[in-house]
Amino acid sequence: MKVAAPVRTNVIAVLVASTAALIARAWLQLHLQTDGLAKGYASDLSFLIVPPIMMVLLAPVYCSDRTFLFHQFRRSAISAKLIVNAILIGVLLRLAAWSRLVAGASFGIHRSSDPLAVEGPVFGFQCASPAAVALGFVVMAAMVPVIEEVVHRAYVQSGLRHYGSVAAIVLSAGVFAVFHPTSSWLFSFVAGLVFGIQYWQTGSLWP
């Protein structure tokens, strides 16, 4: 399904602004970790500067593309059952990740690196504070998805659509992967393909 194309010169501006915002975020995260904050908490906290940086740098772009952006969030078919299932799947995936870690430790796959350890492996688990959990939810469930999908699907994929569906989806998925850590490039690329196909079929960022 075809969607309204953004102003083509704005696609590059969006990518440049995204890169600048993420570099600033990485710099802040390193400083927060140096000050003693846990890596996960520092990562979420530092991401809070990304939206304001992008809003300032891209204000002219958003103004010129406001009709296009509004078009990206029109509602499509969605049900309460779909929302509940999506939440449950997310919870189950997290539990599966924790279970794998616990199982690995119990069988000696995850070993202590302490040369003075007299018995092992020793496995420790500590729940995050309510503030850290709330911040992580806001960042990972609300801010990151919206920013990533606007950049990589609404702008990059739409900007490439004149090359055809396959090229637009594959190339935008590649750009999407590059914006993630190298250790998650494969996962990010596959996820980009899935999101790209959904966007191509619906023409909307809203499920």
Task: List the single range of 69-78, 159-168, 171-180 with lowest mean pLDDT.
Answer: 69-78
Question: Could you report the per-residue pLDDT of 53-103, keeping only the tens digit for each?
Answer: 999 999 999 998 988 888 888 776 566 776 777 677 767 766 666 666 555
Give the mean pLDDT of 26-45.
Answer: 91
Burial 180-206 (b: 16+ CB within 10 A, else e): eeeeeeeebbebbbebbebbbeeebbe
Q: Are 149 and 155 in contact (CB under 8 A)?
A: no
Is residue 39 predicted with pLDDT exceeding 70?
yes
Name which of 55-59, 61-65, 135-139, 184-188 the model is least confident about.
Answer: 135-139
Q: Say what the pLDDT of residue 117 is.
A: 55
- For tokens 């499509």, name the residue: 76
Mean pLDDT over the full length of the chain:
82
128 pLDDT band (50/70/90 cuts)?
low
Residue, of 111 and 176, whose pLDDT is higher: 176
What type of residue sits at position 16? V
Instruction: Identify the top-confidence range among 13-17, 96-100, 104-108, 191-195.
Output: 13-17
Distance from C-alpha of 70 to C-alpha of 89, rounded to nearest angstrom: 29
Alpha-carbon gap, residue 62 to 73, rounded angstroms: 14
**Nearest to residue 190, comparing CAs of 203, 173, 172?**
173
- Residue 52 one-letter amino acid: P
Taking the CA atoms of 58, 189, 143 and 49 in sequence, report the sign of the dihedral they define.
negative
Instruction: Look at residue 193 and tell me whether its pLDDT is greater than 60.
Output: yes
Helices 50-57/8-34 angle, 10° precision: 150
Query: What mean pLDDT comes out for the span 125-143?
Result: 78
Find the Cα–Cα–Cα–Cα dihedral 194, 200, 205, 206, rounded to 10°. Answer: -90
CB 177 within 8 Å of CB 185: yes
pLDDT over 90 (residue 114): no
